[in-house]
Amino acid sequence: MGRSYFHLHLVSDSTGETLIAASRAAAAQYQGIASIEHVYPLVRTRTQLERVIAEIDNAPGIVLFTLVDPDLSRRLEAACETSGSPCLSVLGPILGLFQSYLGQTSTPRAGAQHMLNAEYFKRIDALNFTMMCDDGQMPEHLEQADIVLVGVSRTSKTPTSIYLANRGYKAANVPIVPGAPLPPGLTQVRRPLIVGLVASAERIIQIRQNRVLALNADPQTDYVDRVAVAQEIAGSRRLFAERSWPT
C-alpha cells in the first residue's frame, strides 16, 4: 500500500525551527502518511502574510504558526476559517498556561527563543538569501550560495533549502523544467556544492496531482502523466551523472 500525503503549512515570524520540530514529532506518530512541508520563515508584514495565504489557498492542508503580532495571527486564522484549513498557534496554548500560572502576560518578541548571537544572525542571513534565490530566482547570485539544489518539480527543493538555511547554509534551488534551459551560470559556478534531488515517480505524481486539484487545472497533462514524469526523472539523473553532481 502506497503512502498518502497531505499539505502542511508552517508559518513563522522567525526561523521556523520550532514549528518544524513540533510538526515532525507529531507527523512521526502516523504510519503510512507523509506531510508535504511548506515552510514560510520571517513572515512579519501583512504583504508577506497575504502571499502565504495565497499559497495555502492553492494547497489546502494543516496550518501551524508562530506569529507574535496579534493582527497577523487573526488575519491568518480568519483566512484559514474561510478556506476550511485547520489552523493552530503552536505557542498559543503554552503561553496561555504560563500566563495563567505566572499571572503575567508575555512580551511579544519575534524569535525571542533564539539567542541573538553571531550564529543566529548567520542563519537569518542564510534564510534571506534562500528566499531570494528560491525556485530559480536571482540566478546571478548562485555563486554566492553554499549549496545549490537542482531537481524536477515537486522534489522538495524549497523545504530542503529552508532546512539548510536554518543551519546557516546559503542554499539556492533551481528547477529542471522540460524544454527549458538551465540558467547559464549554473554550470559555471565554482564556489557552491551542487546537489541533485530525486524522488520516486509515485511520490512526485501524487504531490503534483494534489496541486493540480487545488488549482482546478486540467488533470490530463504531461505534468502528472506517469510516462512523462518517469522521463523527467530519468533526464534529471542523466544530467546529474554528466555533471558529476551528487544526489
The DSSP bridge partners found for residue 231 are none
> Which pLDDT score is estimated for 216?
77
The CA-based angle 187-191-197, given to 5 degrees, is 60
Q: Is pLDDT above 60 for 208?
A: yes
Question: Residue 113's pLDDT is what?
Answer: 56
Same domain, 135 and 243: yes
At residue 49, the pLDDT reads 97
- d(CA 186, CA 202) in angstroms, rounded, equals 28
Last residue of a domain, one of 71, 92, 113: 113
Is there a contact between 162 and 117 (Cβ–Cβ < 8 Å)? Answer: no
* pLDDT for 114: 54
Q: 18 pLDDT exceeds 90?
A: no
CATH classification of the domain holding 1: 3.40.50.2300
CA angle 160, 147, 236 (to 5 degrees): 70
The answer to whether residues 80 and 63 touch, using CB atoms and an 8 Å cutoff, is: yes
Position with higher pLDDT, 107 vs 73: 73
Distance between first and last Cα of the chain: 26
Can you tell me the distance from the alpha carbon of 237 to that of 247, in angstroms, rounded to the nearest whole number? 9
Return the pLDDT at 115: 54
Q: Average pLDDT for residues 74-85, to the nearest whole number?
A: 96
The x, y and z cell numbers of residue 100, run together, are: 495563567
Q: Mean pLDDT across the stretch 28-48?
A: 92
From the CB of residue 247, how many other CB atoms can be counted at a distance below 10 Å?
A: 12
pLDDT given for residue 89 in this prediction: 96
Q: Judge if pTM exceeds 0.95.
A: no
User: Are residues 164 and 135 both part of a single domain?
Assistant: yes
**Nearest Cα residue to 214 out of 3, 4, 7, 2:** 7
**Domain count across the chain:** 2
* pLDDT beyond 80 at 215: no
Looking at every residue in the chain, the average pLDDT score rounds to 91
In this prediction, what percent of the chain has a pLDDT beyond 90?
A: 72
Same structural domain, 3 and 16:
yes
pLDDT band at 178 (very low <50, low <70, confident <90, very high): very high
Residues 6+ apart with CB under 8 A from 208: 153, 154, 223, 224, 229
Please check whether residues 230 and 132 belong to one and the same domain. yes
Domain-terminating residue out of 113, 133, 168: 113
The answer on 78 and 126 residing in a single domain is no
Q: For residue 231, how far is the Cα from the chain centroid? A: 25
- 167 and 64 in a common domain: no
Q: Determine the Cα–Cα distance for residues 55 and 71; give it in Å rounded to an integer.
A: 19
Residue type, 6: F
Do 87 and 142 fall within a single domain? no
Among 20, 75, 18, smallest CA distance to 45 is for 75
Q: How far is CA 27 from the centre of its chain?
A: 16
CA-wise closest residue to 9 among 90, 120, 129: 90
- Rounded Cα–Cα distance for residues 121 and 124 (Å): 5
Q: Which domain holds residue 240?
A: 115-247
pLDDT tens digits, 94-138: 888 998 999 988 776 666 555 557 788 888 899 999 999 999 999
